[in-house]
Chain A
């Protein structure tokens, strides 16, 4: 597969607001990205507007406040998608096509049951939650993320284990929770922990861990490694000019976030 043949579906609905950056990110690594409204996947859309999930190679859920965060962040997007194209979505994931969710996109993946998905590719009810930050506030600042993937996640393929990236956080509900007390250890054993919050020195105490997630988890993937969700926004640091330190000695030509998108392209192109 060539880069220009990779088709990306950036799925949006009322209230998503990061679809432009998400589509740009995939375009910058050579893919063809299309912003698709959730209504275009349902049979009720006019024929010319109709899109099929199976025609795409990557599915991406952008950040924002889908459906106004009513009920719970991501719950309405997830319920609508499941009711309209549930079987197609499951087939997409089971074919090991890459699926990415950032911020509200991560919340949607958890509500869909696509993450952490330890027992089934798409669980019927959520098996985790992204709940209110411990601070009770919207947290918005650059975070330091260490890549802890040991090679399973396709979105971290090109990022060396232990490398630290500077990526902005901007969320009110980012604390990963589960009913299973051994949750973190299981994620660790399965190589499902992709990114952790770290501090410049010492432990990632607040505000380096902005939400109180256990074990400083910032991003996880499913057991197969093709579905990843993360709270911070790599699509906001595509060029050096949006890196917070770009005037203070940041010497890379590209932004730290681009590596996530390049990784999945390298995975597909081989």
Chain B
């Protein structure tokens, strides 16, 4: 079984209200120097295929469902 980690993050310049809200709250808890907080989404997919094929499938999954190229970048890593 190949474990594929798919990381979906917002493109630069796309607002991240959850991240900025979290940053403010961390500040209010007394954490100093928190310059920014980003939220990312990680999917861990177990695929019954060799690593190279699994990585290809991960890319295809991003294109067809997991990422919207207008707002998100993705990165597929085989573990």
Given the known inter-chain contacts A132-B17, A136-B18, A136-B21, please indicate yes or no for A125 contacting B63, CB distance below 8 A. Answer: yes
Residues of B within 8 A of A (CB): 14-15, 17-18, 20-21, 63-66, 68-71
Q: Given A131-B14, A132-B17, A136-B17, do A71 and B69 touch, yes or no (CB 8 Å)?
A: no
**Chain B contacts of A132 at CB under 8 A?**
15, 17
Per-residue B-contact encoding for A126-137, CB less than 8 Å = 1, 0 else? 111101101110
- Asked if residues A179 and B68 are in contact (CB atoms below 8 Å), the reply is no
8 further interface pairs, Cβ-Cβ under 8 Å (given A131-B15, A179-B69): A71-B65, A75-B65, A75-B68, A76-B65, A79-B64, A125-B69, A128-B70, A177-B14
User: How far is the CB of A76 from the nearest CB of chain B, in Å?
Assistant: 8
A178 contact set on B, CB distance < 8 A: 70
Residues of B within 8 A of A72 (CB): 68
The 7 closest A-B pairs by CB, nearest first: A136-B17, A129-B70, A129-B71, A79-B65, A129-B68, A126-B68, A131-B71
Is A127 in contact with B66, judged by CB distance below 8 angstroms?
no
CA–CA, A179 to B12, complex, Å?
12
CB distance from B8 to the nearest CB of A (A): 9
Q: Which residues of A contact B66 (CB under 8 A)?
A: 71
Size of the A side of the interface (Cβ < 8 Å), in residues, is 19
Q: Are B15 and A134 in contact (CB under 8 A)?
A: yes
Kindly list chain A residues whose C-beta atoms are within 8 Å of the C-beta of B20: 136
> In the bound complex, what is the Cα–Cα distance between A75 and B69 (angstroms)?
13
A177 CB, nearest partner CB in chain B, Å: 6
14 A–B pairs (Cβ distance < 8 Å), ordered by A: A71-B65, A71-B66, A75-B65, A126-B68, A127-B70, A129-B71, A131-B71, A134-B15, A136-B15, A136-B17, A136-B18, A136-B21, A178-B70, A179-B70
Q: B62 — nearest CB in chain A belongs to which residue?
A: A125
Provide the bound-state CA to CA distance between A75 and B65, in Å.
Answer: 7
> How many angstroms between the C-alpha atoms of A72 and B63 in the bound complex?
13
Whether A111 is near chain B, meaning CB under 8 Å from some CB there, is yes
Q: Name which residue of chain B comes closest to A134, CB basis.
A: B15
Cα separation A132 to B63 with both chains bound (whole Å): 21
Which chain B residue lies CB-closest to A78? Answer: B65
Name the A residues within 8 Å of B71 (CB-CB): 129, 131, 177
The minimal Cβ–Cβ distance linking B59 to chain A, given in whole angstroms, is 12
In the complex, the chain B residue whose C-beta lies closest to that of A212 is B15
Task: Compute how far the CA of A116 lies from the CA of B66 in the bound complex, rounded to whole angstroms.
Answer: 20
CB distance from A161 to the nearest CB of B (A): 29
**Which chain B residues border A135 with CB–CB below 8 Å?**
17
A234 to chain B, nearest CB (A): 26
**Complex contacts, A136 vs chain B, CB 8 Å:** 15, 17-18, 20-21
| Contact indicator B70/A177 (Cβ below 8 Å) | yes
Distance, CA A111 to CA B71, complexed state (A): 12
